Amino acid sequence: MSKPKVGFFDFSSCEGCQIELTNYGDTAFLELLNHIDIVEFREAMTETAGDLDIACVEGSFTREADRARLESIRKRSKIVIAYGACAATAGVNALKNHQADYKENVYGKDAHMPHLDSSKALPISAAIKVDYSVYGCPMDKYEFLRIVTHLLHGKEPVIPNYPVCMECKRRETVCRYEDGDHCMGQVARAGCNAPCPADGIPCEACRGFVDQPNEVALVKVLKERAGFSEKRAQEKSRIFTAALRSDSK
């Protein structure tokens, strides 16, 4: 049986998730190459190919003009994976949906150059059908390996619908709240094995929310236990989940 053909594509993103794939630093990635053929990958090669078994699409859908390119990727791919937070949930890009003056703040005097025009930042599922999502900013390369392994066998990947707290507890990380800090692990989708709290950094929910996040309780805990102001508590979870919150735009 010939090896499945896999392509990588990018839209509005930093392309960091593609770089992350080449960062294994061990034999895992090379071992994976025994089982798949990467036929399109701008970060490491110049070739392009025709039909694909798996298309990994990085980045958000932010311009109507990108729809045609997304549709053409969909058309020639058996499976489309939203690859990384920007593609899966619109990630940090969706922050701009809540701000009118982002261009001036980011680009200064260049703000009115036409190539900087864009509409709302949306997950790619707003434009095309997505079969599976690899969450995270950046995506977890080991989770990606597991997802690809499952797809090679025709098995739907297992993506947790429980929060990061479970993973912190399983590895006995001292809770950020116990250290007087804040955290959003209670509403964040697990699957990364909670590396940030283990390193003393709060979870920012870069993998998005679990299916039913308790946003009201999060605000309450951020205020009562982390000492946040009402405004900061209300807005805290927006960084990676602007497109998932009940007030998404």
Span of 40-48, 131-139, 154-162, 233-241 interacting with another protein by CB under 8 A: 154-162
The Cα 77–Cα 150 span in angstroms is 17
In this chain, which of 19, 49, 166, 201 binds another protein, going by CB under 8 A? 166
Is residue 144 within 8 A of residue 129, CB to CB? The reply is no
Using the minimum distance from each CB to another protein, give the nearer residue, 110 or 179.
Answer: 179
Using the minimum distance from each CB to another protein, give the nearer residue, 9 or 135.
Answer: 135
The Cα 174–Cα 230 span in angstroms is 26
Q: Structure tokens of 197?
A: 């709290």
Decide if residue 155 touches another protein (CB under 8 A): yes
Is residue 82 within 8 A of residue 139, CB to CB? The reply is no
Residues paired with 8 in a beta bridge = 56
Using the minimum distance from each CB to another protein, give the nearer residue, 79 or 145.
Answer: 145
The DSSP code for 8 is E
- Return the number of other C-beta atoms located less than 10 Å from residue 104's C-beta: 13
The Cα 46–Cα 4 span in angstroms is 19
Question: Most distant CA pair in the chain: distance in Å?
Answer: 59
Using the minimum distance from each CB to another protein, give the nearer residue, 64 or 156.
Answer: 156
Using the minimum distance from each CB to another protein, give the nearer residue, 6 or 221.
Answer: 221
Smallest distance, Å, CB 163 to another protein? 5
Decide if residue 129 touches another protein (CB under 8 A): no
In this chain, which of 75, 109, 153, 231 binds another protein, going by CB under 8 A? 153
In this chain, which of 170, 227, 230, 249 binds another protein, going by CB under 8 A? 170
Using the minimum distance from each CB to another protein, give the nearer residue, 42 or 146.
Answer: 146
The Cα 147–Cα 91 span in angstroms is 20
Instruction: State the number of CA atoms in the 13 A half-sphere of 189 facing the CB.
Output: 25
Decide if residue 201 touches another protein (CB under 8 A): no
In this chain, which of 45, 112, 217, 249 binds another protein, going by CB under 8 A? 217
**Element housing 132 (H / E):** strand 132-134
Query: Which residues lie near another protein (CB under 8 A)?
Result: 28, 31-32, 35, 145-146, 149-150, 152-156, 158, 161-163, 165-166, 169-175, 177-179, 183, 185-187, 210-214, 216-218, 220-221, 225
